[in-house]
Amino acid sequence: MLDNKTILITGGTGSFGKQFVKTVLTKFKPKRLIIFSRDELKQFEMREQFSEQTYPCLRYFIGDIRDRSRLTRAFNGVDFVIHAAALKQVSTCEYNPIEAVKTNVMGAANVIDAAIDCKVRHVIALSTDKAVSPINLYGATKLCSDKLFVSANNYSGADGPKFSVVRYGNVVGSRGSVIPVFMKARQHTHLDITDQRMTRFWITVGQSVNFVLQSLLIARGGEIYIPKLPSMKIVDLANAIAPHCKFNVIGARPGEKLHEMMISEEDARYTLDIGDYYLILPFSKSHEIEMLTTSGVGVRCPEGFCYSSHHNDHWLTRNDLAQMVSDINIPLS
């Protein structure tokens, strides 16, 4: 699918971006693979691992998604865009709300406009479980971003780009993940826990990249794709990483939920269970649900269904966690 194609990833120097580049270079032969980000140091460091000399298809673009003209220049001749750039730290967004809106909302609008102007074939935007029934600003901006990308299909035109969204939970070992924090706490006798009841969805960065590529293959535009993920209690995670530490319960931080959700009851009315993943159809295509169900593509989610981290059939054990952590080379005790 990506052979001899031009792919651009915004926020390409992040955890997801690095793994995406590695996967694409391993599995495909792209014409060009463009890393678009605003941090020259991270690009310099990434070049040491993925240089243009070793991989002639690579291009490094300095730019910010807040700058529409720079996006338009970068999107020239691009077939596929993976939009991963965002301000993602909950506490940072709470303290800097306008900056979060400029990047996560207005930046998303710029990506959409540039993609339409440059006749990109397809855009996949990365979302988060925090966008469902959000209580923090980060989640609210990502919900708005999701709405923008879904609605963009209404005015991109029949021959214009298709826009789809991929939504998943916490990425194991990514920047901002709690795992590195817990790893450092192993050096002490106490470990801070916000709330012992807390649960989260978990996915590895490799799994997230593969799911994005899978979604890109089948997406028609307007859908939100959600992988079926395991959950884990935060106390189980802490015990797996630092079993000798005692818990110091400090209380939930501003904007922090006890449990995360990836499909709300309202979303479930337009959601199909496809087996390994869920598919939320846009309202404009809700009439297709019965057709897709009848043809055996998927099963309509029941009335009142919601997909929450504490109402899940799949829970991670310590062995499961050990395997996930080993994939990112962070040893457990």
Catalytic residue positions, numbered: 130
Q: How far is CA 50 from CA 43, 45, 91, in A?
A: 10, 9, 32
Number of CB atoms found within 10 A of residue 115's CB: 28
Give the whole-angstrom CA distance, residue 16 versus residue 24: 12
Give the whole-angstrom CA distance, residue 64 versus residue 38: 5
* Neighbour-count burial for 89-99, b at 16+ CB within 10 Å, e otherwise: ebeebbeeeee
- Contact present, 216 and 225 (Cβ < 8 Å): no
